[in-house]
Amino acid sequence: MTALNRREIVAKLLADRGNDLLVVPSLGQACYDCMAAGDSPQTFYMWGAMGGAVPVALGLAIAQPDKRVICIAGDGELLMGLGALAATAAEAPANFAIACLDNERYGETGQQHTATGRGANLTAIAAGAGFGTAMMVTTEDEVAAGVKACRETPGPVFVTFKVDDAPEEAAIPPKDGAYLKSRFREAVVGKI
């Protein structure tokens, strides 16, 4: 494993995010990473629905073409919903990026090994699905380019960040699903 730190990657992905960046972190540690970088009503935390973060974020990107949408997803999360990568490439939203935090583990549930530590390459899978930009970031030198691609490159963009498998301290976002939905909706389309 290389020594990239997931919290530092997420802090960079979300730096100076303003009001036009919409973020969908997958369940578990990706949510805590986003919370640790600073809570925002423009973050829609997935408290469950493993495998559902990309479909949710893809629909959001299609519905909000003037806003950048980033799905920050664990490797386990993506492996559970690989078909969503093909659907994303087929829809090809220019405002959409997936940032995979690949620790080669199901970290949230006890560090079980995932297939990415045993040969599966999510960047190659994304490229095969048809993503125009599909990058693998393994060193500090490559981080800035990976972050820039997620924030700015016309999508769909897929970037794997190989991060170390050390669990970080939990930073717990709000848990009330109705509240999270309402505040996100209001932040994106205003009060109804």
Ligand X SMILES: Cc1ncc(C[n+]2csc(CCOP(=O)(O)OP(=O)(O)O)c2C)c(N)n1
Q: Which residues bind ligand X (CB under 6 A)?
A: 26-30, 48, 50, 74-77, 101, 103, 105-109
The residue whose Cβ lies closest to ligand X is 74
Q: Output the CA torsion sign for 123, 127, 131, 135.
A: positive
Q: Which is nearer to Mg ion, 131 or 161 (CB)?
A: 161
Contacted entry of Mg ion, ligand X, none for residue 27, CB cut-off 5 to 8 Å set by kind: ligand X
Cα dihedral 21, 51, 184, 41 in deg (nearest 10):
-60
Count other Cβ atoms within 10 Å, centred on residue 23: 25
Q: How far apart are CA 127 and CA 131, in angstroms?
A: 5
Q: Which is nearer to Mg ion, 17 or 162 (CB)?
A: 162
Q: Which is nearer to ligand X, 40 or 103 (CB)?
A: 103
Contacted entry of ligand X, Mg ion, none for residue 126, CB cut-off 5 to 8 Å set by kind: none
Count other Cβ atoms within 10 Å, centred on residue 172: 10
Contacted entry of Mg ion, ligand X, none for residue 110, CB cut-off 5 to 8 Å set by kind: none
* DSSP one-letter string for 40-69: -TTB----S-TT-HHHHHHHHHHH-TTSEE
Contacted entry of Mg ion, ligand X, none for residue 29, CB cut-off 5 to 8 Å set by kind: ligand X
Q: Which of 26, 103, 123, 160 binds Mg ion (CB under 5 A)?
A: 103
Shortest gap between Cβ of 78 and ligand X (angstroms)?
7
108 binds Mg ion (CB under 5 A): no
Establish whether the linkage from the previous residue to 93 is cis, with ω within 30° of 0. Answer: no
Q: How far apart are CA 143 and CA 188, in angstroms?
A: 29
Shortest gap between Cβ of 141 and ligand X (angstroms)?
23
> Residue numbers of the site for Mg ion (CB under 5 A)?
74-76, 103, 105, 107
